[in-house]
Structure 1
Amino acid sequence: MSRTRHATLRTNTAALTLALGTLILAGPAYAVEPTSNGQGASAEQQGGGDKTGIYAAARIQYSGAVAKGGGTGNVTSSDVNWTPPPCWYAPYLGAKDFKKEMSKDIEDKKNTPGMTGTAGAAIGEMQRHYEDEYGWTGTPGYKDYNVENDGKGMFWAAVENPDEPDYLKRTSCTDLPFWVENGDAPPPQYEEAISPEILAALAYQRMELPDTKVTLAPEANTKVNLPTWAWLDKAVFDEVQATAALNVPGFNIQATTTAKPVSLKLEPGTKDAVTYPASGECAINADGSIGEPYAKGKADQTPPCGIRYLRSSGHGTYKLRATITWEIDWTGTGGAGGDLPNGTFGNDQAVTVQEIQSVNR
């Protein structure tokens, strides 16, 4: 079959490929052990509900500081152009199980969620591809679903990221399920095949960072034109790690994403304020802390990290936002590794600013 014909088939079966993934992966996406708190606490999650078929094959395990309940964490990428993978190819089913799945009545498949008006024809062509060596240039077909090699490998199929938009899923991972021998890497044309780098991005997406509540002096209530010192002790926050792993027969990979705090940004919540330093960015110190604790006798000094409010907050408060920038990298199976975009996470704190009262005699 020519590549043009291949493209046509891919267009017709794109909905089928993703619908299969959606249908078979439906159900509880993750199970997570309870944690003691929500501030970067350790947790372990497993993708998949039951432990058979696609669940056993495509389940990704998460451990470390990951968001509870299987949802996205609270880290936000500083690169607006970076997004986690909307889908990926992962080990799906053995040959006999795949044949059983694809041998269902075509009329039943037409009612599969996500099917289009051309689904019937597309399913028929796809079955031929696996039943009678019907293929195309560069992608040969299979004879009887490759059952003679059952146990020696697995069919890989598209798996959707439940936390990413549908429009991204529709334009990615549109190839039909393909066979990979145990221990072999997927063919290079499948760039979205699960890899340490993809696992690192998924761990990044689910990473949970600790709250960013800075210590202030004066605490909560300050005065107009009085420098307010701000700092974070190293004991309050440290590096955070999250690991994603996929372990199936003949294919075991994992990646650990590590986030290290590098700076603190203060936003006073009003234009009538001055930050120290002027940029509002407080760098991390050599000992891993940020800023400097206030000590008696420093009232007239300029804090290395802090704020000076120029106007009273009246009967209300200013919403001080403290945001930590985290430098994020990853390491994975086989010595793989690299950098990911910096992440940010911040919290708001209410600050009351009062006028200094004076008495005229």
Structure 2
Amino acid sequence: MAPQPTVLVLGGVGFLGRNFVTYLVENNLAASIRVIDKVLPQTAYLNKRFQAAFQKVEFMQGNLSNTSSVERCFTREDGSSFDYVINFAAETKFSQPEEIYEDRIFRLSVNCAKEAVKRKAKVFVQLSTGDIYESTGTSSKEDSKTKPWNVMAQHKLKVDNELQNMEGLNLVILRPAVVYGVGGMAGLTPRLIYGRVYQHLKQKMEFLWTSDLRVNTVHVDDVSRAVWHTANWYVSNDKSGSVIFNLADENDTDQEAINSHIHAIFGIETGFQGTIISNMVKLNMKDATEDINEAHLAPWSEILKAHDIKTSPLTPYLDEELLSNNAVSLDGSKICTVTGFSYEHPKLTTDSLKEVISDFQELGIWPRD
């Protein structure tokens, strides 16, 4: 039996990273694990399960946009190289200056990939995004037309293209749909916060656009499993060059499905503004975004105050880019047919979203009702 691989996890404190590190630790999958992040675990709202996992790995703080810092993070005392390098590191906030994305997505990823080539890593797994595809009425496959609908995705695609042309890089690119699960503060979580706000206001919650707008999903546990599965598949089959896989469950989640779960959790009436009103809003999206955020930030603050929650990283704030009429619609089946992977969370469920809320409540950052 082959020895367990050594693993370097870049951006390992974030939502995807913490879940992946915990998956490795709890299943005893790696000979050693080093986690790199600019954020300290002690300040990152890790729950008890994540904290326990991080006590069993080596953590190093590092700025991966800096080449000398990258070299230090890749260097091991015994002079050996990490077998697997997993790159979750990237700027994840929307509406940032383009220079931020150039530095914290493109330059960072290229620096790390070059170092992986230099160290002869057996595989480099790059987390991209499903937002790079053209928004059409059909599910995008890995070879579908690309047309990133936000600046962050533009830089993710730029990374994908650069890395595929990098000589000597053993590359797996994963493009997930909207990822949800324990610890996720973006993605579906702002919609859950909206649900709690409208429960507080005793009003109907209506989203822009229509019920059939695709917001395809994938559970974070399946993302963790897919990262590990594809890395092992790549190495054990002596692959070279690059391979790309989408990650999306079979639910074909749309806004109506999400609203049905919000209704089940909060007992509120839900609906949609429709195309005509939404297109009118679109004419002045900047002002509309400000109005929408103002309407939700104040009651959310009232809820937190009423439950004696002094600080919380959770917010109903939505960036302008997230209010656009762009579908996230992916075909996530190729990874199954090619590698034998299977999704353990094929459907978005009410219980899986309740689990997210319960975890925030345990951390003291979501009100207990």
| TM-score, scaled to structure 1 | 0.25
Q: Give the number of the structure whose residues are more often strand, by fraction.
A: 1
Structure exhibiting the larger radius of gyration computed from Cα positions: 1
Q: Give the number of the structure whose residues are more often helix, by fraction.
A: 2
| TM-score, scaled to structure 2 | 0.25
